[in-house]
Structure 1
């Protein structure tokens, strides 16, 4: 079966090399990522100790291709792609270069846009519609970033659409137990000011259902008890943590608040909250936006000047995820 799965042809190899050049990492030999070996090694009973450091710094020469389509489910305030200036400028992608890299490796990729700030229920319904339209009744693998993991869990457990068949769900820094930063924001706003803020956001044409659902109380006391895992679906998860953000980082305050309440985090979601199903490990030195390839290019250039190479490449990470799904028969 492994031979059949490895559909690595010359044309695809050329595409991967082009993507590798664009994403700036170097090349490495074709060996299975040490991250998975390390993730499964004995590091105590605490899954948070499954450390993944620099294993996704470079793109390998060859990756297996899963036979089932891969659905990319975006997080809060997300989108599939946005056209700027009527199409005169390049589109802005949520999955920056990731979907293209997977397609170059022969993966059938489905990207679905759901209401950016809608409730989990609203987002899950759109996710189900998008999957049903692209692959009706066909088994799919859902790979979800941030809130997208909650949408997928609700769709699988509660909606159970008859024309959507999910074989596996991989969640990446999804707040399965909520976020202390969401708690902080609501405490700062105050109950009396919430209606006015909601009305303002709604006048901008945006929903507001997502915000309160990301609190720790809602996730642990309401959502999780009512959203059990489906026995026929394989659940995997990753977490991430970053060092103390720089002075100008958008995560400076949120990282501190979450760190004080929950411990290590990627700036928006803690490692503790990310754990769900089979925990694959914690990506070290990676922010919430690094996980979707929105890496600070200036930071890369500065590290290069200092003689330091990149320590994480999101494209290598997602290629490795799909490689492992292929090895598991998906």
Structure 2
């Protein structure tokens, strides 16, 4: 090959590589990023598996100051919010930052909203990013909470509380409180009217969608049920329910993939998310926050 052609190709490849990677370089934001996990888990599930699979490490490699909070897997929105608020205040004290950028997934989007509106966290929050959050409630929560006979609520809730206390390490868990707080009537008629967005904070959201099957096998049946109740969904949360603040779109993975479900959106199972790169998704979110001055 002619020497000039080789040189041209080398320059072109370098330029294209730079274009492809520029969005993910030097993403350090003005304020630290705080991750808030969803229900049924903690930052480290059973002390072994990271909830945010590979995402914090990917953000740190991109130059982001990131913190991971951990609250009870099963508890009321209010109780989780108190714990979350306290951890954010500790992060602010340790980092010296004036504010934080919150990124929540699932129930993490709700208890962080509660902490902002009701627990005095608002002055310390620059942005709130919601990933697959059930802001209008979840039909699955309705089916579970209203489907179980009232006489069995105490028995089932008590049994699950024991599991989450002894196996998952929750402190005084409240499974029933967690379940009721995600029902559609509670979210739409109680929580949302009493938990408005706070001026001066940038709120944005994304939804996830399984297209023709749930990539995570455990969500296949819930996804099918949700299709009949809410239409497009990620296996646990409907696309319409996930919209809050500035809605940024629906993540549904590459064309060849079954889609992006409620578990894929945080990088599970264990990084096996065909057609969807969770680390890149979150790096893009943070890069955008940086560009917006947060």
Q: TM-score range by the shorter chain?
A: 0.7 to 0.9
CA spacing shift, 1:199–1:104, aligned 2, 3 Å: same
SS at match of 1:203: helix
Query: What's 2:130 paired with?
Result: 171
* SS of residue matched to 2:129: strand
Aligned to 1:238: 206
1:121 and 2:78 matched: yes
Residue 133 of structure 1 and its aligned partner are, at CA, apart by: 0.6
**2:52 counterpart residue number:** 95
Contact 1:59-1:315 at 8 Å conserved across structures: no
Q: Distance in 1 between matches of 2:145 and 2:244?
A: 25
Q: 2:41 aligns with which of 78, 87, 95?
A: 78
Task: Please tell me the root mean square deviation across aligned C-alpha atoms, in Å.
Answer: 2.3
Please give the per-residue CA displacement for 1:42-99, whole angstroms capped at 9, x wherever unaligned.
xxxxxxxxxxxxxxxx996625321210000000012112575xxxxxx410111100
Offset of 1:110 from its aligned partner?
Answer: 1.2
Aligned to 2:148: 189
Query: For the residues of structure 2 that align with 1:150 and 1:244, how far apart are their CA atoms?
Result: 28
Instruction: Give 1:135's aligned residue.
Output: 92
Question: 1:30, 1:123 → 2: CA distance?
Answer: 42
Change beyond 3 A, Cα 1:31–1:97:
same
CA shift in 2, pair 1:68/1:297, >3 Å? closer
Selected match of 2:262 from 263, 280, 288: 288
2:25 to 62, 73, 80: 62
Q: How does 1:5-20 map to 2 (within 5 A)?
A: none
Q: Distance in 2 between matches of 1:201 and 1:59?
A: 46
Judged with a 3 Å threshold, the aligned counterparts in structure 2 of structure 1 residues 247 and 281 are, in CA distance, closer, same or farther, namely closer
SS at match of 1:311: coil
Relative to the length of structure 2, the TM-score reads: 0.82
Distance 2:160 2:27 in 1: 44
Q: Which residue of structure 2 lines up, in the alignment, with residue 160 of structure 1? A: 120
SS in 1 for 2:89: helix
Alignment partner for residue 106 of structure 1, among 63, 69, 75?
63
| Residues 200-221 of structure 1, C-alpha deviations (whole Å, 9 max, x = no match) | 2233323222111111011001
Change (3 A) 1:31 1:217: farther
Q: CA deviation at 1:257?
A: 1.7
Match of 1:272 among 217, 221, 240: 240
Scaled by the length of structure 1, what TM-score is found? 0.74
Partner of 2:174: 207
Residue in 1 that maps onto 2:5: none
Contact 1:30–1:61 (CA<8 Å) still a contact in 2? no
Q: Does 1:313 align with 2:280?
A: no
What are the Cα deviations for residues 179-228 of structure 1, in whole angstroms up to 9, with x where unaligned? 00111112331212111112222333232221111110110011001101
Give CA-to-partner distance per residue, 1:138-168, whole Å, 9 cap, x none: 2100000011000111011111148x60000
In the alignment, the residues of structure 2 paired with residue 31 and residue 155 of structure 1 have an alpha-carbon distance, to the nearest angstrom, of 39
For residues 229 and 213 of structure 1, what CA distance do their matches in structure 2 show? 18
1:30 is displaced (CA, Å) by 4.4
Q: Indicate yes or no: 2:213 matched with 1:249.
A: no
Unaligned runs of 5+ in 1: 1-27, 33-57, 85-90, 301-309
